[in-house]
């Protein structure tokens, strides 16, 4: 079984969804038959590399709400993340363009350590205040997750994997994916949003049942 997960590094619900999927997969007795691939989805493809403004201010401006309302939204998602064992510090988060971060995740996929790199990038952004569009920060985080720093630097400098990012986003449009996280199983079943562990597990079980009947 193949599970493809469309997500963005700076999407708070994507990190929550990642944890919930991991819990569902751990409870799935067919987990050894499952391969997981993270696909690229930019929530704000026209975003500047580094907005140089707090996340709360950016949210308030984009959503047309007051700073206090934006803080309340962040507080709510922070509390939900905590239930999944994630420590969000959104007051430190520095939003920016994620295109290059996605290129790094494709490099990581080819190296066989995509999950570890996605995890490190998300932790850096949500918990450590890392500037997600900064090349030096991306190199550092990816190296900590197991990629060679020189290889990451060469990839970022060369523009490699740009086509792969665009291809993921084109496929998302073809499949009708308009928001993330979005889980696709064997290109037959889709789960939209950071659904609960029970929903994700039930979908995995249904997909395996259907695959068994087909064979």
The pLDDT tens digits for 5-27 are 999 999 999 999 999 999 999 99
Span 159-192, pLDDT tens digits: 999 999 999 999 999 999 999 999 999 999 999 9
Domain hosting 102: range is: 2-214
Pick the closest to residue 133 from 102, 112, 90 (CA basis): 102
Identify whether the C-beta of residue 21 lies closer than 8 Å to the C-beta of residue 85: no
3-state secondary structure of 64: coil
Overall domain count for the chain: 1
CATH number at 36 reads: 3.40.30.10
pLDDT at 51: 66
3-state secondary structure of 194: coil
Going from the first residue of the chain to its last (215 residues), give the mean pLDDT of each consecutive group of 10, the final group possibly shorter. 97 98 97 97 86 81 90 96 98 92 98 98 97 96 98 97 98 97 96 98 94 76
């Amino acid at each position: 079984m193949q599970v493809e997960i469309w997500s963005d590094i700076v999407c708070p619900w994507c990190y929550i969804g990642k944890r919930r999927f991991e819990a569902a997969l751990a409870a799935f007795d067919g987990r050894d038959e499952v391969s997981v691939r993270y696909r690229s989805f930019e929530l704000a493809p026209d975003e500047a590399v580094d907005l140089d403004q707090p996340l709360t201010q950016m949210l308030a401006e984009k959503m047309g709400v007051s700073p206090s309302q934006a803080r309340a939204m962040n507080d709510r998602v922070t509390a939900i993340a905590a239930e999944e064992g994630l420590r969000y510090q959104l007051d430190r988060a520095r939003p920016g363009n994620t295109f290059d971060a996605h290129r790094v995740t494709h490099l990581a996929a080819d190296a066989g350590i995509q999950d570890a790199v996605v995890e490190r990038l998300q932790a850096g952004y949500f918990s450590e205040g890392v500037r997600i569009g900064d090349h030096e920060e991306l190199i550092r985080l990816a190296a900590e997750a197991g990629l060679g720093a020189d290889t990451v630097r060469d990839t970022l400098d060369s523009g490699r994997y740009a086509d792969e990012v665009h291809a993921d986003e084109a496929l998302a449009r073809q499949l009708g994916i308009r928001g993330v996280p979005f889980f696709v199983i064997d290109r037959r079943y889709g789960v939209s949003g950071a659904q609960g562990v029970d929903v994700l597990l039930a979908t995995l079980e249904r997909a395996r049942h259907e695959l068994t009947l087909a064979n």
